[in-house]
A and B are shown apart, each in its own frame.
Chain A
Amino acid sequence: MQSENIVGKENMSDILDMVTVSTSPHARSKDTVAIIMYCVLLAILPTSLAGVYFFGIKALIIILIGTLGAVATEALVQPLLGQKISIMDGSAAVTGLLLALTLPPTTPWWMVLVGAAIAIIIGKLIYGGLGNNPFNPALIGRVVLLVSWPVQLTRWQKPVFLFSKTIDTITTASPLGILKDKGAAHIANIRLLDLFLGNRAGCIGEVSVLLILLGLGYLIWKGYVTWHIPVCCLGTVFLFSGIFWLINPAQYANPLFHLFSGGLMFGACFMATDMVTSPITTKGMMIFGAGAGLITIIIRLFGGYPEGISFAILFMNAVCPLIDKYTMPKGFGRA
């Protein structure tokens, strides 16, 4: 074919030298992995601030060490593994912050650092990085710390409030610890409103149910997370704890107490919803959430630990490929 047919008018040929020829579609949304991660950070911010408010500067230091420690670990270790440094995608910061928020405010700083390094290296990088990790990296970090230093990881303190004069740490038991060790009768004087707002002993980020739900609402509104996992997880806990409570209210705590105490709310909203380690289909998400809730309540009611959400989510992470396999949709027109 002759060239004049293609180029045509002289004035247009210069412009056309620069056109891109590619297959459709030619439009993409503005969402990127980094934007999603920064939105997750934003969603967790309110409950992080609540942790600082209730537990003071100590909590802030743990949050900073956890977050920066995770980012630094990723920056240092990725070159050693021959990976491109990906700290700017925000996922390391999310992992570090999530880890910090699941630790008691009395955790020694170096332990936080160890946890952050384990979360990033063992939880994520050895699998090849974000997207390939089967387990929630922050939970890997937390569980390693929990089984390595069980005493420090279950030492709770009363809320001190950021601006109050008293700076002494008063150790106390967590609401779930009281329930496990002393029984349902001793939790009668714990007010549900305090649990809902966060005025109780616990891990830094888990105390304020209100602000956790606010963060979750933001992520659902942005379309990055759907309601299926948290609702099915919390619903299952509510249902089963409710059944036992109805059978014997003297021995078992009421279902709202279970929903509002421990790390359940935080785990269900921010850990179980981790995209990488949860199922991809809606049906799979519902099974995943319900499974995590069921394991949590079994551990709480019958297990050795007062709390079980971390183990529950890790277990469900492990069976996630199986769930995905059996929940593949049939596809349009194959009813």
Chain B
Amino acid sequence: MKLKTFLGGIHPPGNKRLSEGKRIEAIPLPQKVYIPLVQHIGAPCEAKVEIGQKVKKGELLADSQAFVSAPVHASLSGSVIEIKNYPHAGGNQVKTIIIESDGLDEWVKEPQNGQNPLKLSPDEIKQKIRQAGIVGLGGAAFPSHVKLSPPKEKKIDAVILNGVECEPYLTADHQLMMEKPADIVKGLQIIMRALGVKQGYIGIEANKPDAVQAMQEATKEDSHIEVVGLKVKYPQGAEKQLIKAVLDREVPPPPGLPMDVGAVIQNVGTAYAIYEALSSGKPLIERVVTITGKGIKKPKNLSLRIGTLFSEVIDYCGGLTGEVGKILMGGPMMGLAQYTTQVPVIKGTSGILILPKGESPPTKAGRCINCGMCVRACPMKLIPSILGTYCERDLLDEAEEAQVLNCIECGSCVYVCPAKRHLVQIIKYGKSAILAKKREQKNKS
């Protein structure tokens, strides 16, 4: 198979061996779950339950009238003991429903297999996906039904399932493809039906030959689905880079979206969740998470209930090996650093990564020597060194002119920079300052 890819990118150490090939396990029923009302991009949900109320597994806890939003459900049975602001993996505090388990783990409605989702109409599919609270499980957590409802003038002709998992350390998607290939393919078929698209692709990096083989085996019957082998390179799994590699199309800069080039991307985990929800009526109350890093005793791939605290997961994995440097939600390239382990697993949690002290030390930024390594690494064909300098000096107009808003914040420039400049960090600041200024101007006029 000829491997496809994009221009630029980097080759950080994969470090996937720690958890690779480990079967997905469930952990014992937690005593409490902490379910934030914001787990997605879009409008926050409003609680539909009250303190003291008894709830069962799969019961709707909160929802929103807004289109760009996704409801949340109880991930175990018990009683709501508190609804309050609570630490969230995003770094802020978010209104959270805390449920104490009754130890029974009863369903509000037992999932029943045997339904054929491909008999549903596209509108019914989208409706059921929204009801199940499904969002993009790759990390961005964009509500899936929104992605499946492009405006009429956008002609979609390809769906790509993202099985790239280019973040170092993470193996959750890989393991899911090994264990549930047929269900993932069915999920893709449902997505294709919802969009009325004939052609589907599954993009997988070449460092997972077993997953490529498993998915090829599972798609043997369907000539409209192609498994695409991709070069091992970060950020191959970024939406725009995946579309470039698979379809050779470039998504225009913001506000350009994949649908502008006729493509919709969904993570393999999302496809699996969609199949589960539509075939048995099970809402999104658990997901596969990789718990890994040299800081954890027993790295694993786990199926975790939404709302399980990181600390509980760490305990299940044998605890910490020693002094901890960083606790991340996600991988080392784009993961969010946590200040506490008392945060819950949410829909967008693809991994919990424990880096021991010394693996990610603070670096002192030096002066740019114009080496150009960031330019060669940038998957968006930008000049990170110059963007960084503009943003450092608050030259926001110049930064915008130099396409800073097209930056996807993948961190490749920071990874390669020999002067150890904090490029993407300062670029993030510049982007938010530009967007704030634009909002201000818009409000004035």
Task: Please report A residues at the B interface, Cβ cutoff 8 Å.
Answer: 1, 5-9, 12, 15-16, 18-29, 31-33, 35-36, 129-132, 223-224, 226, 275-278, 280-282, 285, 328-335
**Does B367 contact A130, Cβ atoms closer than 8 Å?**
yes
Q: How far is the CA of A285 from the CA of B78 in the complex (A)?
A: 66
Contact partner of A18 among B323, B406, B425, CB < 8 A?
B323
Q: How far is the CA of A5 from the CA of B343 in the complex (A)?
A: 9
Which residues of B are found within 8 Å of A276, using beta-carbon distances?
Answer: 369-370
**Does A27 contact B402, Cβ atoms closer than 8 Å?**
no
**B28, chain A: closest CB distance, angstroms:** 17
- Closest partner residue, chain A, to B401 (CB atom): A328
User: Could you write out 7 A-B pairs with CB less than 8 Å apart?
Assistant: A19-B326, A21-B339, A26-B355, A33-B366, A334-B250, A334-B252, A334-B253
Contact A19/B333 with A1-B85, A130-B367, A131-B368 known, Cβ cut-off 8 Å: no
Which residues of B are found within 8 Å of A333, using beta-carbon distances?
Answer: 240, 250-253, 256, 406
- Closest partner residue, chain A, to B254 (CB atom): A333
**A312, chain B: closest CB distance, angstroms:** 20
Interface status of B274 (Cβ within 8 A of chain A): no
**Does B342 contact A5, Cβ atoms closer than 8 Å?**
yes
Which residues of A are found within 8 Å of B402, using beta-carbon distances?
Answer: 328
**Does A280 contact B372, Cβ atoms closer than 8 Å?**
yes
What is the number of residues of chain B that contact chain A, defined by CB distance less than 8 Å? 76
Q: How far is the CA of A21 from the CA of B326 in the complex (A)?
A: 7
**A15, chain B: closest CB distance, angstroms:** 5
Q: How far is the CA of A5 from the CA of B32 in the complex (A)?
A: 13
Nearest 7 pairs between A and B by C-beta? A25-B411, A131-B367, A331-B403, A27-B332, A275-B371, A333-B250, A332-B380
**Does A275 contact B380, Cβ atoms closer than 8 Å?**
no
Which residues of B are found within 8 Å of A130, using beta-carbon distances?
Answer: 367, 369
**Does B311 contact A281, Cβ atoms closer than 8 Å?**
no
**Does B334 contact A25, Cβ atoms closer than 8 Å?**
yes
**Does A28 contact B362, Cβ atoms closer than 8 Å?**
no
Interface status of B283 (Cβ within 8 A of chain A): no
Which residues of A are found within 8 Å of B419, using beta-carbon distances?
Answer: 32-33, 131
**Does B311 contact A12, Cβ atoms closer than 8 Å?**
yes
**A241, chain B: closest CB distance, angstroms:** 29
Among B36-44, B50-58, B102-110, B381-389, the one that faces the other chain is B381-389
- Closest partner residue, chain B, to A281 (CB atom): B375
Which residues of A are found within 8 Å of B324, using beta-carbon distances?
Answer: 15-16, 18-19
Which residues of A are found within 8 Å of B244, using beta-carbon distances?
Answer: 332
Which residues of B are found within 8 Å of A331, using beta-carbon distances?
Answer: 253, 380-382, 403, 406
Interface status of B325 (Cβ within 8 A of chain A): yes
Which residues of A are found within 8 Å of B370, using beta-carbon distances?
Answer: 131, 275-278, 280
- Closest partner residue, chain A, to B251 (CB atom): A333
- Closest partner residue, chain B, to A9 (CB atom): B311
Which residues of B are found within 8 Å of A32, using beta-carbon distances?
Answer: 418-420
Which residues of B are found within 8 Å of A335, using beta-carbon distances?
Answer: 250
Which residues of A are found within 8 Å of B325, using beta-carbon distances?
Answer: 19-20
Interface status of B120 (Cβ within 8 A of chain A): no
**Does B251 contact A280, Cβ atoms closer than 8 Å?**
no
**Does B12 contact A224, Cβ atoms closer than 8 Å?**
no
**Does A24 contact B333, Cβ atoms closer than 8 Å?**
yes
Which residues of B are found within 8 Å of A132, using beta-carbon distances?
Answer: 367
**Does A27 contact B342, Cβ atoms closer than 8 Å?**
no
| Known pairs A12-B341, A23-B424, A333-B250 / 20 extra A-B pairs, C-beta < 8 Å | A6-B339, A6-B340, A7-B342, A18-B323, A19-B326, A20-B337, A22-B326, A22-B337, A24-B335, A27-B415, A31-B416, A33-B419, A226-B372, A226-B376, A275-B370, A275-B372, A277-B370, A278-B370, A331-B382, A333-B251
